[in-house]
Amino acid sequence: MTELQNSEENENVRPLQNKDTNNTQKKQLEIKINNPKGKTKLLGIIALFVFFCIINFSFIPAFYIIYKYIICEQNIYVISFFVIQYPYQLFFAKRQDWFCNTEFLQKSANFFRTWSLTLEEPIPEKNGMICFHPHGFLCLGFAIFSSLKGPIKVKYGFASRGLLSMPVSGMLLKFIGVAPVNAKNMNIAMKKGECFSLLPGGFEEATLTDYDESRIFIKKRKGFIKYALKYGYSIFPCYVFGENKCFYTFKPLLNLRLLLNRFKLPGIMAYSRNIIMPNNNLDLHVVCGKAIQIPKTEHPSKELINKYHQLYIEKLTELYNNYKVEFGYKDELKIY
């Protein structure tokens, strides 16, 4: 019950019809992994550990090597390696199908007690922008979703330039299709009509992560709406139930940590019952709502941007409220 690559033939991937739940009529597709055990569970643990190390630790040995062998010893071989590797990472590294086909991100879904994906509407291959909330510490819902095959054909995602500039780890992230979120890359992708995913809340939403509260950072995030209007993209609001519970977070000094975010510095400090790995005694549920149809307007006015930005907030809040009881949430969504 864990292989998603042959999604059309998998018993965990199914159209939903005639079920006695309030949200049945909204659901078009559901992928679900329930209580994996044995070898499957072990593969999930290993896969998520690899992903965690890539994101958080692979730059540490790189910095150590730079300090020891370049700064201290001036080793010509190490210098030559980084003279080639780092420019490649910054300017040429991009999605590599051979790397994505290892499916380690996909298998990391088996780490959790339950993992599911619900689509209220099929995701198009072109002109679709899938926006994920909340960011959380590791963006696990976003990462696993972006790795799926079968009915999901999203090859690209956007993330912080600072994260992708980290030696080695940034290159590996680019290999799985993550690109720096900037005007140039957004324009290139959207001119081609590429379907992609992104995290509008950014570092600020990560900083706001709270185990006990559902929070998003969106009031000052309007750039993605402007791009959607310029290119006539449909926006799919997505909420990941369980993302904020993957880790416990340091709560004091919130304003100071948000101030750090203005300088593109992360402000989240996290830990878990598994020390550095996410809490595994939880369910992770990704819900993608219906598309918000955005009219193509090459030079959108401020009023038009504000109109669709407010509509996006309303639809995201509605999505959260529609599913929160089903997935064990009781609190109201707090919007920053």
User: If you ran DSSP here, which 8-state letter would residue 111 be given?
Assistant: G
- Indicate the residue type of 200: P
What 8-state DSSP symbol labels residue 216?
E
The pLDDT of residue 16: 42
What are the residues facing 284 on neighbouring strands?
A: 115
Domain boundaries of the chain, sorted by first residue: 7-54+95-335
Closest residue by Cα to residue 92 from 190, 164, 1, 149 = 164
pLDDT value of residue 18: 35
**pLDDT (0 to 100) of residue 199:** 92
Bond into 124 cis (ω within 30) = no
* pTM for this model (two decimals): 0.84
pLDDT of residue 10: 41
DSSP states of 158-181 as a string?
EE-HHHHTSTTHHHHHHHTTEEE-
Fill in the DSSP letter of residue 81.
H
Task: List per-residue pLDDT tens for the chain, 336 residues long.
Answer: 334 444 333 434 444 433 444 565 566 777 788 878 888 899 888 888 888 777 766 666 777 888 888 888 888 988 898 899 999 999 999 888 887 777 777 788 899 999 999 999 988 889 999 999 999 988 888 888 877 766 566 777 888 777 788 788 788 888 888 888 888 889 999 999 999 999 999 889 999 999 999 999 999 999 999 999 999 999 999 999 999 999 999 999 999 999 988 887 788 888 888 877 899 889 999 999 999 999 999 999 999 999 999 999 999 999 999 999 999 999 999 999
Say which residues have a Cβ less than 8 Å from residue 92's Cβ, sequence separation at least 6: none
> Angle formed by the axes of helices 223-231 and 183-191, to 10°?
30
Helix and strand numbers (H, E) in the chain are: 13, 13
Q: Looking at the chain, which runs of residues are DSSP E strands?
A: 13-14, 29-34, 114-119, 128-133, 156-159, 178-180, 196-198, 215-216, 234-241, 248-249, 270-271, 283-288, 334-335
d(CA 110, CA 47): 9
